[in-house]
Chain A
Amino acid sequence: MLWRKLCFKLVQLVFTLWAMASIVFLLSRFLPGLSSPKGMNDPDVNILSHTSPEAVLRIKEAYLQKHGLHLPKFYLSFSLKGEKNAGQISSASVDEAWVRKSVLWHGLETTSSFYRQWQQAYSNADLADQSTALKSLIKWSNSNSPTERQLNVAQFEAVLKKIDRKQRLQLTKEWQHLTLSSSPWYFFLPSLEWHGTNSQYHLWLQNILSGNLGVSNSDYEPVLDKLSEALKNSAILGAIALLIASAIAYSLGLWLAESQNKPFCIAVRQTLYLLDSIPVFLLVLGLLFLYLLFGGTLSGNDIPSEGTFSILFQSSFLLSTISVVLLLLPYLCLQFYQGLNHEADSMYMRTARAKGLSINNSLRKHALPNSFGPSLTILSEAVIGLIAGVLVVEVTFSLPGVGSLLTRSILSSDYPVLIASTLFLLLFRIVVVWITDLLLAFVDPRIRLS
């Protein structure tokens, strides 16, 4: 029975992971920054003084080919029927975009006869006219609204007037014919297209299944190496901090519950509430300030040290641990304390007291095991929440963990690392929830039996 449940859970885990990974991958492929090479993203503010627009275009196309970005993104794609039909007109690559729009808006036949005329006129016109006319036509196809489109139609007609008379007459006639006709309604219906295995998704999935997460596109380091390095730091930090914090939190919580109304207890409780309400970044900066005030140095870090656990001896690591402990402590402690209090009011506690057990003994023997279940859930929430807390801490103390890896990969558009670290965070979350479920079932027979 238990095994079946476990297997079911495992299948569920794998399926969730696959679905998440695919969504993250496909979304990342729609990011606009991906389609141009590094340093050529913002043509409006990057001045490439000499290079002709044609050369830039050629280089960008070669880039897409090299990285397989010209392939369809998925096995299937949706396009409008009209746009698909435009494939029947064999158009030059510069004309492809406007021909597609033209077919969609005005139908296949009219576009095809206009395009024939256009090709003839285009080859006979002189260079300057060619480029203005083509530009105007492309602008027309890029119209974002019907009003804009009409305006652009008028503009193209104005351009046509400048062309040599002989060519113009026929072309204008075809143009008017084109703009007056409209495409059949079903041209606007979506149609499915099957691309088979030659798609970006398929190639990516193949790589992933063979354990290849790719290499970082900023420094060629394998993504797995980068992630495991960062993970090591985060895990050490998180585990140590969590251990310290939960040890302190549980003993402190028990002590608070046992000695309810002593003035010192109340003071400690209020301090915890205060600590809980301080925003993370403020707490972290305050610690850094104290550290620097005491004469701590940042540059003390820059002397190279080797070894797996060298991070343990860095001041930034210690500071981070203290910060994370301070982040976790109030939350864990107060929740646990309230859980105990809640149990203390229940009937079985009254019975225990009536039978002569002291407050302390009844708390430890009866309330503690009962409040353990809810506090486990809270602990798992804290562990998941730790990721966000650790991110702020890592950025402030320049600690190279998963959080800062994620921020850096976003800043430098390092998509392979971005996908992998997002996936990791997802996996982490799922696994933590999963383990909590199992543990809960283990400690609480009521859950197990239901």
Chain B
Amino acid sequence: MKKLSLLSLGLLLLFQVSCNRLSPDSTVRIRLAQDPESLHPLTYGNAPALQILNLVYQSLLTVNLEDRAIQPLLAAELPSVRITDSLSYFTYAIRPQARWDNGTPITAHDVAFSLKILHSPLLENERWRAQYDFIQDIVYSKDSLLNFTLVCSGYTPEMKLLTGDFFVLPAHQFDPNSLISDISYKTIRGKYDSLSQSPSFKNLAQNVNQSFFARDTAGVKGSGPYRLASWKTGQHVVLEKKKGWWGSNISPTPEQLRFAPERISYQIIPDNAAAVLALKAQQLDLMDNIPLVSFKEMRQDPKFQEKFNFFSPATYDIVFLGMNGASPLLQDRLTRQAITHLINIPQVIATLQGGFATPTVGLVHPLEKDYYNKGLQPVTFDTTAAKNLLRQAGWKKADNSGWTRNQNGQQQKLVLNLMHRAGNSEFENMSLLLQQNAMLLGIPIEVTSLESSQISEKLQNRNYHLYFRTLTGNPFSYNLLSILHSSSAQGTGGNVTNFGTPETDKILEQIATVEKEEQKAILLKDLQAQMQKESNLVFLYFLQNKMAIAKRVKSPVVSSLKPNYDISTFEITE
């Protein structure tokens, strides 16, 4: 019986294997760890979705993943900028060849529509409303439907990218009845609350908030080079290159409009072990964030060296230890400095990251040679220094009761709590190491692992001492006012460690507006020095991605910018 059932199972398996229709060989197969969930250009919620949407929709500008230069995408060239006292004007021209799928040209009206729905009531666009709050108006040119000017409040250097960073959406598709074409962008921004009652906006919301635009192959359709061919939730997303796409008809085709793969198949495999198995069986052309042990093992195995190229590109994901400067125990910088001496960064990088991380002194990546402050020394593991600092901060160590001090007539005891995200084994181990090192000095640290939103809540209420977290940075903007300025240090603001002195506030304000590279370098180096002195945020290291790309992909471009590879360059050779 058992034999029979095993035999039949085996036969079924064989049958299934032989039944498999192989996908065409020109397909690039990429592993996604997570389902995109939604491909709605307004409400998508995760990195895989953005990665796919970037191939379906287009914005005015793009960033070259290799040299990180800003390039015009839908725009014919980079915008011209005019700055006055309180306003700045960015004038764009759209490529005359740019077309929607139905053959109609992309015009300034589509750009205006895209901006309008970023600010319309009744839509799930809160983060975009916050992000593009600075765009005050759009003015059409009298001469051409392709030219327009964006009027922005104030001026900061990163507006050069941000003014062209939103998806330009086909107005004829999202608003087929032209419900809001006659309402100006300025009106929508100004009368947000009252417009939410208007029937036009109710109808618009009904149309835009549809799963048709989030998952239907006919609804997820932009001016980009690929169309959504199929999406099976939790299994795969397939993109196919459009035949006769407008971008490839331009000759010579600009680099940013060249896309090599004919078909891209994103395989959604949430389980890491299953994904590694699939990679080893050459069912995938690319897998990133490979678990450390598998990555090391495969890299050393000649069998896999033959089939794959291995990369460990730098990322701007920075791991840091945050300390609550608002809590009475960590209010003075000396105590905070003492804690920093309890982390053994080289040890963490060597053991937990397998060497695939870049130590840093601050929030600037060491790769950014002009901005990185080489003069600063990384914080070292040094219990003697920590002890001295604690004594300077007024702490006294009694043999059996730990560290205590008298502050404003109050007796304080140095007992700390540390939180990190549950399920992150690296943070878990880092916390244990820190706990151990602190114990050497007689400082008890209680470690708790929490769900991400719970951490956010505790941070918001300033109800914590220490936490580990990852900050995703980028090399384009060092406008850090929202997380470091003292004006963001209360309520729902992002400065949860209470960092900031009048001096650092001034530096941050200057960094946000400074245009000249040399000046910016001086300011950033100064900021790194100040932050190390204050030690509210102790930056430990930048992560590196661990990636394998099949050798049948010819000369792939790997980048430090997300998603760490440029899929447009993936040409398949057999």
Contact = CB atoms under 8 A, between A and B. Distances in A.
A268 B408 contact: no
A302 B230 contact: yes
Contact of B277 (A150, A288, A301, A313): A288
A44 B485 CA distance: 12
A299 B479 contact: no
Contacts of B154: 50
A340 B14 CA distance: 36
Interface string A321-334: 01001000000000
Interface string B248-277: 000000000000000001011111011001
Contacts of A300: 20-23
B404 interface: no
A285 B265 CA distance: 22
A350 B408 CA distance: 87
A285 B14 contact: no
A255 B457 CA distance: 60
Interface string A34-70: 0011111111111111111101110110110010000
Nearest to B209: A220
Nearest to B477: A49
State which size class the interface on B falls in: 35 or more
Contacts of B488: 43, 53
Contacts of B483: 43-45, 47
Contacts of A51: 130-131, 133-134, 482
B339 interface: no
A32 B23 contact: no
Interface in B83-129: 121-122, 124, 126-127, 129
B436 interface: no
Contacts of B274: 285, 288, 396-397
A4 to B, nearest CB: 45
Interface in A253-308: 255, 268, 271, 281, 285, 288-304
Nearest to A134: B490
B214 A221 contact: yes
B269 A135 contact: no
Given A148-B327, A398-B234, A322 B9 contact: yes
Given A45-B470, A47-B479, A40 B127 contact: yes
A142 interface: yes
B215 A219 contact: yes
A48 B192 contact: no
B20 A315 contact: yes
B267 A302 contact: yes
B40 to A, nearest CB: 6
B401 interface: no
Contact of B127 (A39, A135, A150): A39
Interface in B194-230: 196, 209-211, 214-215, 229-230
Interface stretch (A6-14, A189-197, A351-359, A406-414): A406-414
Interface string A394-409: 1111111000100110
A131 B488 CA distance: 11
Nearest to A326: B9
A150 B490 contact: no
B77 to A, nearest CB: 24
Given A304-B229, A412-B45, A218 B37 contact: yes
Contacts of A215: 211
B46 A412 contact: yes
A138 interface: yes
Interface stretch (B56-64, B369-377, B491-499, B566-574): B491-499
Q: Please provide the 4 A-B residue pairs with the shortest distance between their CB atoms, ordered closest to farther.
A: A33-B453, A37-B126, A300-B20, A39-B127
16 contacts: A39-B126, A43-B460, A43-B482, A47-B479, A47-B480, A53-B482, A60-B492, A62-B193, A66-B122, A147-B412, A288-B277, A290-B13, A294-B17, A315-B19, A399-B234, A407-B270
Interface of A: 31-33, 36-53, 55-57, 59-60, 62-63, 66, 131, 135, 138-139, 142, 144, 147-148, 150-151, 154, 215-222, 229, 248, 251-252, 255, 268, 271, 281, 285, 288-304, 313, 315-316, 318-319, 322, 325, 394-400, 404, 407-408, 411-414
